[in-house]
Amino acid sequence: MAKILMVGAFDTKGPEYAFLREQILAKGHEVLAMNTGVVGEAEAFAVDIAADEVATAGGSSLAALRAASDRGAAMKVMSAGAAAVARRLHDAGRFDGIVGMGGSGGSSVVTAAMRALPVGVPKVCVSTVASGDTAPYVGAKDVTLIPSIVDVAGVNRISRVIFARAAGAICGMVEAVPPQAVDDKPIVVASMFGNTTECVNACVETLSEAGYEVLVFHATGTGGKTMESLVDEGLVDAVLDITTTEWADEVCDGVFSAGPDRLSAAGRAGLPQLIVPGCVDMANFGGMDTVPERFKDGSRTFYEWNPAVTLMRTNAEENARMGEIFAGKANAAQGPVAFLLPLKGVSILDGDGEMFCDRDADGAFFAALKENLDDGIAVYEIDHNINDPQFAARACELMLELIAQK
């Protein structure tokens, strides 16, 4: 028998959650009920964690939230409180999985609690926004969203099927026991893009032969955030950051930004990290019609990677800015760190004679990096493209040297 944390606004969604609760109990599992409703009282079933406890954990009180009558402010408090309480309960071993339901507001509170939990803890949310932009709800965690089809407003011939399946999903997840590997290896995480695939694939092969398990993350914003979240959770032993292109999107307002915290987790954790400016030559947008007007002055080079992705060549000014940022991240690192610079191109498209080939722009990054780095942080250069076999071999050699320094 497992225990499942059920999170939601039991005041306004009492019958819906009562049905979900009954489905879980019928499968032989226990339910730990956390109420995040602010408007009224939860009367459909017994509550284990009251809304006032959640509000207090979020830095306020239920009385204050009701008096203010500010829905947006209440959502923020209850989201923070639900996350704090869920994490505390999990750390105490009080539950094995988490489930919730809601519209956009309810989903934001429920998934805030889910995102506070480690990867691997079963997480299921029935949501009206499951088929839209889910990044704010999922973040960098393994949250499973189930489209509610109809609104989470009553138990009817459609919703009862969805709710019952959601109960089955979370129960199946907590019942499933992942097989334990008999030869768990140290974990190296690596960042990859289509423009660095050859390099990263070669590194995976070499490091695997050296006794490491390499986890690869696609550098599309969410990928970088997820990689860094695993570092923060203490699940990683070293970072091979080949593809740092998400910083180009952060600087140019592209669609694949991982935010300003990118390149920070390994340094905070004191982990060995090798940093490569992979694909900093390109910022990503959607179709050509989504490219900001300020970039359409004729000075930019664009490449249609596929119908949904347009790449823009970054210029020298943007590269210099990134070089300075990368230096700042490395200077703050608490563990071994080094840089490896490919002098014949930081991507496929930046290869000699290719569309994005711009050695002045690359040089602006390299110069700014060196100018702003603290003494003692090594910068290695190699007269190859990032996807040449020689580059991958050198990257692995340096990665293993950094690991040995730890």
Q: What mean pLDDT is predicted for residues 88-116?
A: 96
pLDDT single digits (tens) 325-355: 999 999 999 999 999 999 999 999 999 999 9
Q: What mean pLDDT is predicted for residues 217-235?
A: 94
* Domain presence at residue 78: yes
Q: How far, in Å, CA of 128 to CA of 152, rounded?
A: 7
- Residues 125 and 228 placed together within one structural domain of the fold: no
* Domain presence at residue 35: yes
- Residues 198 and 127 placed together within one structural domain of the fold: no
Q: How far, in Å, CA of 3 to CA of 123, rounded?
A: 13
pLDDT at 308 (0 to 100): 87
* Domain presence at residue 181: no
Q: How far, in Å, CA of 346 to CA of 387, rounded?
A: 8
DSSP assignment of 191-205: EE-GGGHHHHHHHHH
Q: Residues 303, 273: contact at Cβ < 8 Å?
A: no
Whole-structure pTM value: 0.83
Q: What mean pLDDT is predicted for residues 141-157?
A: 93
Indicate the residue among 175, 206, 223 that finishes a domain.
175
Instruction: Kindly report which listed range (19-23, 302-306, 326-330, 367-371) carries the lowest average pLDDT score.
Output: 302-306
* Domain presence at residue 204: yes
pLDDT single digits (tens) 191-213: 999 999 999 999 999 999 999 99
- Residues 196 and 327 placed together within one structural domain of the fold: yes
Indicate the residue among 152, 175, 198 that finishes a domain.
175
- Residues 156 and 196 placed together within one structural domain of the fold: no
Indicate the residue among 144, 175, 206 that finishes a domain.
175
Q: How far, in Å, CA of 334 to CA of 401, rounded?
A: 17
61 exposed, middle or buried (CB, 10 Å; 0-12, 13-18, 19+)? middle
Number of domains composing the chain: 2
Task: Specify the CATH number for the domain of residue 312.
Answer: 3.40.50.12030
SS3 content of the chain, % helix, strand, coil (to 5): 45, 20, 40
* Domain presence at residue 319: yes
- Residues 58 and 196 placed together within one structural domain of the fold: no
184 exposed, middle or buried (CB, 10 Å; 0-12, 13-18, 19+)? exposed
- Residues 250 and 321 placed together within one structural domain of the fold: yes
* Domain presence at residue 182: no
- Residues 52 and 81 placed together within one structural domain of the fold: yes
- Residues 220 and 167 placed together within one structural domain of the fold: no
- Residues 243 and 338 placed together within one structural domain of the fold: yes
- Residues 148 and 201 placed together within one structural domain of the fold: no
- Residues 399 and 350 placed together within one structural domain of the fold: yes
- Residues 246 and 168 placed together within one structural domain of the fold: no
pLDDT tops 80 at residue 12 = yes
pLDDT at 182 (0 to 100): 66
Q: Residues 35, 42: contact at Cβ < 8 Å?
A: yes
Task: Specify the CATH number for the domain of residue 164.
Answer: 3.40.50.12020
Q: What mean pLDDT is predicted for residues 236-244?
A: 98
pLDDT single digits (tens) 161-193: 999 999 999 999 999 988 887 678 999 999 999
Q: State the residue range of the domain holding 296.
A: 187-405
